[in-house]
Amino acid sequence: MACKKVDCILPERSQYHVLHHFTIKISEALQRAGHAVRLLSAEECASACSLDPPDMTLGLNGAPQIVKDLFLCDVIEVPHAALLMDPPYYYLGLLESPYIEIFCDDETNINVLQSFGCSNAAFLTQGVEPELIDEPEMPKEYDIVFFASYFDVDKAKEVWKEHLPDELCRIMDAAISETLQDESKNLPQSFEKALGGRIDLLNRVNIFDLLYEMSYVQKGQARIDLLKSLKNLPIHVWDNRWKEQLNHSGNFIVHDAVDYPEALGILKKSKIVLCNSIRSVRGCNERVLNALACNALPVTNANPYYDEHFQDAKDLLMYTKDDLHLLEEKVLLYLDNANLRGELVQSGKKKVSLHHTWDNRIRTLFKE
């Protein structure tokens, strides 16, 4: 692989600095691979790239724009790798540029883009920095932790009913229910199936707005279902908005949300990490990888990607909607047995080290 001049563009904003952290770690992986890398802020990238154009630019969840609908990569005429950490129907404007290559963190989303005539999409799921894997294990202060924003599912559905037909609301509910029940289905597939050709219901409705609203409820409900299944175990939750939802249960300790680097520090001191990446079907959530890298046991919803790359009760713990009622007993077994828990963590951590670092992802990116 020939050395390239690569400019990594930091996002303008990112909740909890997640995308900033990813961009920095990707830039470091590019440097380890021998590329000449500049890490640029969103504010300085236009002038820096124009004065000294790189061979390519890279950024998460989009591409820098000079003005609306005019991308920086079109002006300087170099390829831009747009690594999407959210569903691609939020970023369809990227399809207008001949210089942008789109990388989806869920392989099933490539089909979504192809339905819009996009032929320049590839699969590149999330990764983890190798230095996290090499750090020594820390004493465990927390039994079970959960980092996830609270979404008010009931309120969201009330808003649906205010501006959408009742039948369309029922169809949206059915699509969400199918994805919660069957981990191999994604929202666009399930919504198309539930709609059953009733295109008339979409009159004057933006389908991408619907998918966004459904995704909000899907993620929110999956998180609520997970926490409710563990009603007798002590769980530390980071996002104060959970207090109202969980105030009737004595086993939850709710904290203010923290930035991503601080969350990593907490993972290192945790025994078990609850994860839920319901929106991703054939892709990986970085929280699962980070947990294993930090010597914590991830508990995550099953999906075809995890089934292919990890073994349940060998490398991590997985659950489905059907066996969610058994999860508490399963988690308690590993919470109380440090040796058993350690065996799973070390096995999963080895696979992460070999196959799921940002260095692995960079090699895949340049193959594509």
pLDDT given for residue 115 in this prediction: 83
Question: 23-77 pLDDT, tens per residue?
Answer: 999 999 999 999 999 999 999 999 999 999 999 999 999 999 999 889 999 999 9
Q: What is the pLDDT of residue 1?
A: 60
Residue-wise pLDDT tens digits, 263-281: 999 999 999 999 998 989 9
Question: Which one, of 353, 354, 346, lies nearest residue 137 by Cα?
Answer: 346
Instruction: Classify 5-124 by CATH class.
Output: alpha beta
Superfamily of domain 132-358: Glycogen Phosphorylase B; (3.40.50.2000)
Structure tokens belonging to residue 366 = 């340049």
From its phi and psi, is residue 18 left (phi > 0), alpha (psi between -120 and 50) or beta? alpha
| CA 164, 168, 170, 173 torsion-angle sign | negative
Q: What is the pLDDT of residues 79-128, one digit of tens each?
A: 999 999 998 988 989 999 999 999 999 999 998 888 888 888 999 999 99
Residue 246: pLDDT band with limits 50, 70, 90: confident
Break the chain into its structural domains and give their ranges.
5-124, 132-358
Q: Starting from the edge strand earliest in sequence, which strands make up the sheet with 142-147, in order?
A: 252-255, 235-238, 142-147, 270-274, 297-301, 317-319
Same fold? 5-124, 132-358:
yes
pLDDT band at 21 (very low <50, low <70, confident <90, very high): very high
- Model pLDDT for residues 151-189, shown as the tens digit of each residue: 999 999 999 999 999 999 999 999 999 999 998 999 999
Q: What is the pLDDT of residue 249?
A: 75
Q: Are 272 and 344 in contact (CB under 8 A)?
A: no
